Chain A
Amino acid sequence: MKRLLSGNEAVARGAYEAGIKLAAAYPGTPSTEILETLAEEYRSVYSEWSPNEKVAFEVGIGSSLGGARTLVAMKHVGLNVAADPFMTFAYTGVRGGFVLVSADDPEMHSSQNEQDNRYYARFAQIPFLDPSDSQEAKDFVRRGCEISELFDTPVMLHMTTRISHSKSLVEENDPVTPPELPFAHEMEKFVMIPANARKRHVVVTERMEKLRKFAEETDLNVLEENGSDVGIITGGISYQYAKESMPNADYLKLGLGFPLPLEKIRRFVESHKTTIVVEELEPFYEEAINAAGLKVEGKEYFSRLGELSPYLVSKGLYEAGLAEQAKGADFEAESLFPRPPILCPGCPHRGAFMALKKLKVPVTGDIGCYTLAVLPPLHVMDSCICMGASIGNAIGLEKVDKSHKGVVAVIGDSTFLHSGITGLLDAVYNKSNVTVMILDNRVTAMTGGQQHPATGFTLMGEPTRQVDFVELCKALGVEEDHIRQVDPYDYQGTIDAVKEQMEKAGPSVLITTRACVLMPKRIIDRAYKVDLDLCNGCSACFRIGCPAILPSKEMTRRNRPKAVIDPTLCTGCTLCAQVCQPEAIIPVEEPSTVAK
C-alpha cells in the first residue's frame, strides 16, 4: 500500500532508498523533519545535527570525499551560512553523490526573509531539481544522487514549505546499493589552491554544457500535451495549482529547473498561441526564457511576494485571458481579533523580557522562540536579522550610541552555539561593553525541540559531552566575575542581575537557567489562581502576555475586567504573582488567608 508522507518524510525515505550513508543538518523550518525522520525510521543512515549549516555542509563534503552518497538539509537562509563551502564545492565536484536540500519558505511562515534559492543553484552553476509532491520529493533524491555522480556536481533539491509540509501518497521502493568509491587522494580536484581552482573553473563551465544537453533529454522535464493552444511552463507546487485551475492546458513541467532545456522550451513556445510561466517568488524561469529571445508572460499576473495559491494562480490565468474564470475569491479583511503566536505559559523567556522591558535598555535580538517577545504586550526587541546577529549588532550599537549605558544582546542556547560564539569573541577582543544574555532553555525550541551540543544527546539519541556555557565564555576571554547565572522565574532577581551585569566594564554574560516548559518534557508545577475579591483590575498580569491569564466576566467598580487563570494552561511559574500588587494571585491548593 502507498503511504501518506510529508515532503520531508519522503526526502528521508528517498535518502534511504538512494543508499545515502550520511546526512547532516541544522534544524530550520521547513526542513527539520527530514533529519528527524531519518534518525527515527532509517537508522542505517548516519545522521547528525551539526552546530550550524556551514559545518553540516562541510561534514557532507567529507562524506562525499569518502565515496559515500550524502545528503545535507537546511532552510533557505541556512544556505547563506553554508554558502562558503557550497560555492567552492561546486568547483571540486563530488566523489559520492551529493544532494543539498534547500527548503525555501515563501510567505515566511517561520523565517526572516523569503529569498528564492533557485538563484543559488545558478550562482554556483549546479543543477537543481524541483519536486511538485511527496512522490517526486522521494524519487528526486535518488535521481539527484545519480546526476551528481554522472556529472560530478553537487545537486540541489529545491523544496518549499508547501512541498515539505504537505502530505501526499508515495509508492516506496527498495533501497539501491550505490557504487563503491573508497577514499583516494585527489589533490588537484579537492585542494582548491588557486592553481587547482583555475582548472576546476574550466571543468565547471564544461559541465554546464553537458548538463544543458542532459536537460533537453531528461524525463525529469515532462511535456503534457492536451491539444490546447495555451502552454504553461511551471514546476514545484505551482504546477499543482495551475493543474487545478486549467487541467486541460498543455504543460511543460520542469523537474530539472537549472539548467533549463531552452530548445525544448523554444519548441513549446513556438507551438502555442500563448505561453505563460507560473512560478513562486522571483521570475527565475521567465527571465531566463525571455533572455533566450522567447516571448512568455508570467510575473505580470503572478505576484513576486509570498506564496501562490490555487486561487491566486487561477486569478492570474484568468487575468491573462487564458482561464474562463477565477476559481475562488479574495480573502476578506479579518474582522476578528488577531491571534499571533506568543510565548507559552510558563516560558522561561517571559521573565527575561519582563526584566528588559522594565529596564528600557536597547535589546538586540536573535532567531528563536524569544523573538516573539517583540510582539505586544511584551514588545521588547530592537533588532532581529539572522542567526547570531544579536551580539555583533550590540557591539556596533554600543560603539556608536552613547545615550545609553549599554546594550543587551539576547540569544538562545542553540543560536549561541550556531553562530554567537564568534560574536562574543569579538566583544572580548574589541573591548565592547555589551551584555550578552544567553537564554539557555536547553533545547532548540522553535523548531520543535531538537538536540544541540549543550543538551548531552546526539540526533541519533546517543549520550555525548555537553557544552558548559560558563566555561565556554571564560575560554573566550570573558572575565570570570563578569559571568552570572540567574533564574528567569525570579523577576526582581533578573532585573537586578541585568543591571549588575550592565554596570561591569567590558563584555559581560548573563545566563538564564530554566529549561523549556514543553520540551523535551512538559514541566508543570502547582497552578495559580486569582482571588477575585482581591483583584483590582490593574491589568499588570495581562501585560506579561501569558496565554493562561484571561479576563474574567467579573468587573471592577471602574468597569475593568478582573483576571482569571486557566488552571489547565498555568504551569505555576509565578511570574504573574510577582507583578500582582494586591497579591491576588495565589496557588490553587492554598485557601486565601488574607482577611477580607
Chain B
Amino acid sequence: MNNKTSSNILIVGVGGQGVLLASEILSDVAMRAGFDVKKSEVHGMSQRGGVVSSHVKYGPKVFSPIIPYGQADILISFEQAEALRALDWVKKGGLVATSRTRLVPPIATGGQFTYPDDPVTEIRKKIKNVVALDADKIALELGNIRLVNTLLLGAISSGLQFDNAAWEQSLKARVKAKFVDLNLKAFARGQNAAAEAVAS
C-alpha cells in the first residue's frame, strides 16, 4: 500500500472509448477519502476519434486542474499507442497500465504515417512498471466493453492508497446497480493482472 498524500493520474484514450468513467470513479474515491480533488478534460471532440485525456489530481490542496508535463504518477491508457504518446507525462518511477487495444486511424493507413509495431515494448524500454492487458477482450468476455474502465482501475490500484472497500464504495456510487457485480469482477481481474505482471 502506497501512503502518498497526493497523486496525479493521467487517463488517455481515443474519442468514443468512454475514458471519462474511470476518472469519475477515481475522483470519487479520492473525494471520499477526504482529499481535495480536481479533474480536467476537454469535451467537444470526445466522440470523434481524436485523442482524449482526463487529468485527475488529488491531495490536501490542489490548485491547477492540469498535471504538468512529467509529473504524472500514474498513466492509464485505453489504447496502446496512446500510452506511448503520453509516456513523457509520466514521472520517473511512475506506473503505466495500458490496454493492448490497437486503434489505427485512417491517417496512419496512407503511408505518410505508420502505427508502431509494438508500442508496449517501446513503453517498457522507458518505464519499468508497466501493466499491459488485453482489456477489450477481457471486458467483452465479462460481458461489456465499458468494463475496461474498472479493469484498468484495478490494474493501477496498488499504486494508490485506497483499499478495496473504498473502491467498492465508489463503484457502487458511480455505476448502475445492475452493473456493480460485473464491475467488481472486472476490478479484481485488473488487480490480478497487475499482480501477475509484477510477479513475472
Contacts and interface: CB of A to CB of B under 8 A. Distances in A.
Contacts of B145: 568
A542 B106 CA distance: 6
A550 B109 contact: yes
A169 B31 CA distance: 8
Interface stretch (B61-69, B125-133, B161-169, B182-190): B61-69
A311 interface: yes
A327 B71 CA distance: 9
Nearest to A241: B64
B104 A329 contact: no
A329 B27 CA distance: 26
Contacts of A247: 63
A336 B63 contact: no
Q: What is the interface of chain A mostly: helix, strand, loop, or mixed?
A: loop
Contacts of A314: 68
Given A369-B48, A542-B109, A4 B65 contact: no
B104 to A, nearest CB: 5
Contacts of A332: 88
Interface residues of A, number: 60
A162 B42 CA distance: 8
Interface stretch (A337-345, A354-362, A382-390, A409-417): A337-345
Nearest to A446: B44
A341 B106 contact: no
B64 A551 contact: no
Interface stretch (B32-40, B92-100, B151-159): B32-40
Contacts, number: 155
B136 to A, nearest CB: 8
A310 B104 contact: no
Residue in A109, A169, A247, A376 with the greatest tally of chain B CB atoms within 10 Å: A169
A337 B113 contact: yes
A336 B103 CA distance: 13
A401 interface: no
Contacts of A244: 63-64, 68
Interface in B15-66: 15-16, 27-28, 31, 36-51, 62-66
Contacts of B106: 342, 377, 542, 545-547, 549
A165 B108 contact: no
B115 interface: yes
Contacts of A311: 68-69
Contacts of B82: 339
Contacts of B124: none
Contact of A166 (B39, B44, B88, B115): B39
A37 interface: no
A404 interface: no
A485 interface: no
B143 interface: no
A170 to B, nearest CB: 11
A146 B44 CA distance: 32
A110 interface: yes
Contacts of B27: 4, 167
B81 interface: yes
A336 B37 contact: no
Given A167-B40, A244-B63, A549 B69 contact: no
Contact of A167 (B39, B45, B110): B39
A336 B47 CA distance: 21
A4 B31 contact: yes
A30 interface: yes
A372 B105 contact: no
7 contacts: A162-B65, A169-B37, A339-B50, A339-B82, A446-B44, A448-B47, A568-B145
Given A110-B42, A342-B49, A547-B49, 18 more contacts: A4-B28, A30-B42, A110-B44, A165-B40, A165-B41, A166-B40, A167-B38, A168-B62, A169-B37, A314-B68, A334-B85, A336-B81, A338-B107, A338-B113, A339-B82, A339-B85, A545-B106, A550-B109
Query: 5 nearest interchain CB pairs?
Result: A110-B44, A341-B50, A341-B48, A337-B113, A328-B68
